[in-house]
Amino acid sequence: MFSRAVQCRSWHSWQASAAFSRSSHRFAIPSWPSSFPRQVAQRQPLQKRHASTNFPDRNTVGVFTPKSAALFILAGVGLFYYFRYEKARLLEQREQERGSKQYGRPQIGGPFTLTTAAGEPFTDQDLRGKWPLVYFGFTNCPDICPQELDKMTAVLDVIEQEHGKIFQPVFISVDPARDTPARMGRYLKDFHPSFVGLVGSYDATKAVCKAYRVYFSTPPDADPAGDYLVDHSIFVYLLDPDGKFVEAFGQAVPKEDIIEKVREVVEDWKKESGKKAKPSLTAYTLLRHSITRFSFLLSSWFLSACVLGVPMDALFKPLADVLGASVDQIKLISCLLIAYPLGSLFIRVPSSKPGLRHLFNIAVAMFFFFPMLKLYSGFFQLLADIVGTYYIARYDTSWRMPWVVFAFVMGHLTVNHIIRAIYGLSYETMEITGPQMVLTMKLTTFAWNVWDGRRPAADLDKWQTTKRITDYPSLIEFLGYAFYFPGILVGPYLDFQEYRSLISETIFEDEKVKARAKAGRKLPPGRKRAAYWRMFMGLIYLGIFVVFGGKYNFGTALTDWFMEHNLFVRIFMFQIFGFFERSKYYAIWILTEGASIVTGLGFTGFSPSGKSQWDGAANVKVLEIEFPSNFKTLLDNWNMKTNVWLRECVYKRVTPKGKKPGFRSSMITFLTSAFWHGIASGYYLTFIMGGFITTVARLARNYIRPLVLPPPGQPPSDLKELYDIAGTLLSTLVLNYAAAPFMLLTAEDSFKAWSRLAWYGHIIIFGGLAFFYGGGTRYLQKLQAKRGIAPAGKKPAPEAKDARNGSPAANGDKTPADAKSFTMPPNLEEAMGSQK
């Protein structure tokens, strides 16, 4: 849960006070023993800290050398005219498309003046600004008119949910002799409430029918008391907000086809002219274009610096000095932002040429590691892991192969964790263990997917069947997967089948996607909107961290200033510190999620309103973490990709054949998670504390929650609402209390911070354990029995399947519903047994 996930390692901010500073190696890159002897410098306070002192004098080497300044100006001028040209070209293209759509369009519709059911005049101008759906009929119609109006009502129910109340259904009578305004009003009450009924004189009716090319047989001198039928055309006319004809739907057209057509034309109209009518869309478009242009300019600047030989650190040092951050931190964020325009270039590489896409990933990753981050040794360490895994998985066909790969890459990662600890490398230093943690998840998952591809399909569960690899990749494809550039530094982690579907774009071959995609494209609309919204939110969280995180963080609890406040104020401030600490995680994860979406990763289908959804690359859900209904919800929505990896590649794989996953499987998974994160003592304090928290949370959910639930079919009671409020409050309190050691790193500082909070987390957690294990469980069970509530218990797990085709140990087929988070250790109930 509170994992020091790889993604944010280099963004930890330390307290401003020099009294609590820790030693750090300045920009050292941990490598093999030959690179160990390096100078170690003392950390400076945040406000005075400089990223590096290893640069030449800024008067001799700086950002604006004559060459770089000249190229910068040329690049800026070039980009200005490029975007100006592109804007003119797009405008011309839109005008051509609009002209082609107008060509051959029938002249249907025109001015009219009729009367509403309320007796008020109504003209064609009253329809401007909305999408009219116009139908001609009469109230005495025995079957066809009611059927068509019912169909229109069904269509409106769907499209108004998707687009809002931008449609105006209109029913125009072709029987002026019998259809009065009052009669029209009574008739339309049985249909959609937004219907407007219109009647008029014979001449007015004839004129509007002529304008819409509607045939009707009512004679001019029809008797209002007569019993006659009227023949008329049966069409529903769709007009745009400018009053121009769009489409006519005959009686044989089903409502599904009408809905699909309306969706299409509304989206097209919005793209062509909707921006003028919606200021919010204009603001969004300007923001997106501004960010895109800035990203392209930034990319050009960096590439120009590489060509001219300008040191990258010299480009970033002024900004690092202003923000009080390290140069490595600024470079990391710059890489994440550059990934956005590079993602737009990636998506333009034809999917029919997968080799080019693989090479694109590799080239961008090398750009990040070499000129940007200067992780030369680190890159080749990653390359060794990748190539080693590729050939181990290819030539070792035994059941031991995934474990050999696991030991190989995890062992290498652990060695680098130890090196980092020995040399006291700070969180301000971008070094190789961050990307290596992401790569470890990818390589071990790949090994298991290959092994699953060699097993009988009948032995696999749903996830294993979907992800199994039966067609071994080429080396270039595997390198492209390993170096997938939006996630190479901080994630997100993805499995090999996800990568393959991204490269080939097979995920977008669904008929629903094709119906919504633009002509000549496979990707559904809405991708850029989703991506740049995440970019915007990521920068918001980054801004929160930059402004507040340096001064208000868990380390502040170690200062004398913190102790000047009373206990309740300290506890309250500590909750605020927790959000500021987590904001850097939110920033990094959300930024990289958006960059992945630009490349097409993360598509998860369409919402009920028809909008494309891009949640497949998400690693965190902020609101579920900051305002959790309970601790389990909080765990399930933090570091979600790591939870998937631990569940599928450890928890389910270590469970013996025919056994239900239990304490042993959970403990092995916990140890794997711990070693994956590192060796700092603070990590283990957080993990162990989390095990006790999950135990108390489960006991409360099993024995207290059933007592406050309302009977089936009844609304929640006041007691249930109080229980939910208490759950959110307690979850937030213990979250920040247990997460503190993870940020403070050492046991000494962790115990000191806890003591200054009067050990409130221990009181809540161990007080709860004492209650439940001291007789509270039995008391609550008696209350449940007295009220006729079924006792809490675990459902029997399904019989495990053979996971290794007869090998000594096999994985469980299913994961228990309450074992979805694996960054915490097993709870006490698994070791001691449930309280009965």
Segment 425-442 shows an average pLDDT of 84
Task: Return the domain boundaries, the chain.
Answer: 6-52+311-620, 113-277, 636-832
Q: At 235, phi and psi to the nearest 5? A: -140, 145
Q: List residues bridging with 169 in a β-sheet.
A: 133
Q: Indicate the SS3 state at residue 263.
A: helix
Higher-pLDDT residue of 472 and 816 is 472
- pTM > 0.95: yes or no: no
User: Range with the lowest mean pLDDT among 186-190, 293-297, 444-448, 631-635?
Assistant: 293-297
pLDDT of 740 higher than 80: yes
Segment 743-762 shows an average pLDDT of 93
Round the average pLDDT of the chain to a whole number and report it. Answer: 78
Q: What's the CA gap between 377 and 446, in Å, rounded? A: 24
Tell me, what's the pLDDT at 311?
61
Tell me, what's the pLDDT at 825?
46
Percent of the chain having pLDDT more than 90? Answer: 35
Higher-pLDDT residue of 692 and 753 is 753
Tell me, what's the pLDDT at 628?
84
Q: What's the CA gap between 244 and 11, in Å, rounded? A: 55
DSSP state letters, 695-727 = HHHHHHHHHTHHHHPPPTTSPPPHHHHHHHHHH
Select which of 12, 412, 677, 762 is catalytic: 677
**Burial of residue 140 (number of CB atoms within 10 Å: 0-12, 13-18, 19+):** middle
> Token match 């040429």: residue?
353
pLDDT band at 407 (very low <50, low <70, confident <90, very high): very high
Buried b (16+ CB within 10 A) or exposed e, 231-255: ebbbbbbbbbbebebbbbbeeeeeb
CA dihedral 676, 677, 680, 685 (to 10 degrees): -100
Chain Cα centroid distance, residue 221: 66
Given CA atoms 532, 588, 513, 150 in this order, what sign does their dihedral have? negative
Q: Which residues, 6 or more positions from 555, have their beta carbon under 8 angstroms from its beta carbon?
A: 14, 15, 20, 743, 744, 749
What is the tens place of the pLDDT at every residue in 352-401?
899 999 999 999 999 999 888 889 999 999 999 999 999 999 999 999 99
DSSP state letters, 728-776 = HHHHHHHHHHHHHHHHH-SHHHHHHHHHHTTTHHHHHHHHHHHHIIIII
Q: What's the CA gap between 405 and 383, in Å, rounded? A: 14
**Burial of residue 400 (number of CB atoms within 10 Å: 0-12, 13-18, 19+):** middle
**Burial of residue 39 (number of CB atoms within 10 Å: 0-12, 13-18, 19+):** exposed
Q: Provide the phi-psi class of 243: left if phi over 0, else alpha when psi is between -120 and 50, else beta.
A: left
Q: List residues bridging with 236 in a β-sheet.
A: 135, 249
Q: What's the CA gap between 553 and 17, in Å, rounded? A: 12
Tell me, what's the pLDDT at 667?
75
The answer regarding whether domain 113-277 maps to CATH 3.40.30.10 reads yes
Q: At 449, phi and psi to the nearest 5? A: -65, -40
Query: Is 8 among the annotated ligand-binding positions?
Result: no
User: Range with the lowest mean pLDDT among 300-304, 383-387, 595-599?
Assistant: 300-304
25 included as an active-site residue: no
Q: List residues bridging with 237 in a β-sheet.
A: 134, 248
User: Which tokens go with 604?
Assistant: 């998860």
Q: What's the CA gap between 439 and 457, in Å, rounded? A: 27
Among 165, 172, 174, which Cα is nearest to 194's? 165
Contact 390, 475 (CB under 8 A): yes
Element (H, E) at 434: helix 433-453
Segment 106-112 shows an average pLDDT of 83
User: Which tokens go with 735?
Assistant: 């979250």
Tell me, what's the pLDDT at 797?
43
Contact 239, 144 (CB under 8 A): no
Element (H, E) at 115: strand 113-116
What is the tens place of the pLDDT at every residue in 8-21?
433 333 333 333 33
Segment 286-310 shows an average pLDDT of 54
Tell me, what's the pLDDT at 80?
57
Buried b (16+ CB within 10 A) or exposed e, 284-318: beeebeebbeebbbebbbbebbeeeebbbbbbbbe
pLDDT band at 421 (very low <50, low <70, confident <90, very high): confident
DSSP E strands, 506-607: 605-606
Tell me, what's the pLDDT at 504?
92
pLDDT band at 252 (very low <50, low <70, confident <90, very high): confident
Rg (CA), the chain: 33
Q: Indicate the SS3 state at residue 437.
A: helix
pLDDT band at 102 (very low <50, low <70, confident <90, very high): very low
Query: In this structure, which amino acid lies at residue 322?
Result: V
Q: How far is CA 326 from CA 14, 168, 332, 415, 583, in A?
A: 12, 58, 10, 25, 18
Tell me, what's the pLDDT at 403?
95
CB-CB neighbours of 610 under 10 Å: 20
Q: Which residues, 6 or more positions from 331, have their beta carbon under 8 angstroms from its beta carbon?
A: 312, 316, 372, 373, 430
Query: Is 358 among the annotated ligand-binding positions?
Result: no
**Burial of residue 203 (number of CB atoms within 10 Å: 0-12, 13-18, 19+):** exposed
Contact 320, 326 (CB under 8 A): yes
Task: For Cα atoms 216, 220, 223, give the angle at the middle one, nearest 5 degrees.
Answer: 105
Tell me, what's the pLDDT at 809?
38
User: Range with the lowest mean pLDDT among 297-311, 447-461, 607-621, 800-814?
Assistant: 800-814
pLDDT band at 537 (very low <50, low <70, confident <90, very high): very high
pLDDT of 34 higher than 50: no
**Burial of residue 272 (number of CB atoms within 10 Å: 0-12, 13-18, 19+):** middle
Tell me, what's the pLDDT at 90?
62
Query: Is 232 among the annotated ligand-binding positions?
Result: yes
pLDDT band at 659 (very low <50, low <70, confident <90, very high): confident
pLDDT of 645 higher than 90: yes
Tell me, what's the pLDDT at 427?
61
Q: What is the 8-class DSSP label of residue 130?
A: S
Buried b (16+ CB within 10 A) or exposed e, 795-810: eeeeebbbbbeeeeeb
Q: At 229, phi and psi to the nearest 5? A: -105, 160
What is the tens place of the pLDDT at every residue in 448-501?
999 999 999 888 989 999 999 999 999 999 999 999 999 999 988 899 999 999
Tell me, what's the pLDDT at 142?
84
pLDDT of 826 higher than 90: no
pLDDT of 796 higher than 70: no
Choose from 8-17, 21-30, 289-298, 341-350 the range with maximum mean pLDDT.
341-350
- 3-state secondary structure string across 61-92: CCCCCHHHHHHHHHHHHHHHHHHHHHHHHHHH
Percent of the chain having pLDDT more than 70? Answer: 75
Segment 650-664 shows an average pLDDT of 78
User: Range with the lowest mean pLDDT among 75-79, 171-175, 757-761, 773-777?
Assistant: 75-79
- 3-state secondary structure string across 650-690: HHCCCCCCCCCCCHHHHHHHHHHHHHHHCCCHHHHHHHHHH
Q: Which residues, 6 or more positions from 123, have their beta carbon under 8 angstroms from its beta carbon?
A: 111, 112, 113, 114
Tell me, what's the pLDDT at 712?
73
User: Which tokens go with 158?
Assistant: 């769907």
Among 477, 397, 416, 411, which Cα is nearest to 444's? 411
DSSP E strands, 582-656: 605-606, 612-613
**Burial of residue 479 (number of CB atoms within 10 Å: 0-12, 13-18, 19+):** buried
Q: What's the CA gap between 535 and 585, in Å, rounded? A: 14
Among 482, 413, 826, 499, which Cα is nearest to 654's? 826
Tell me, what's the pLDDT at 638?
85
Cis amide bond preceding 492, omega within 30: yes
Q: Indicate the SS3 state at residue 793.
A: coil
Helix (H), strand (E) counts: the chain: 31, 11
Q: What's the CA gap between 20 and 712, in Å, rounded? A: 56
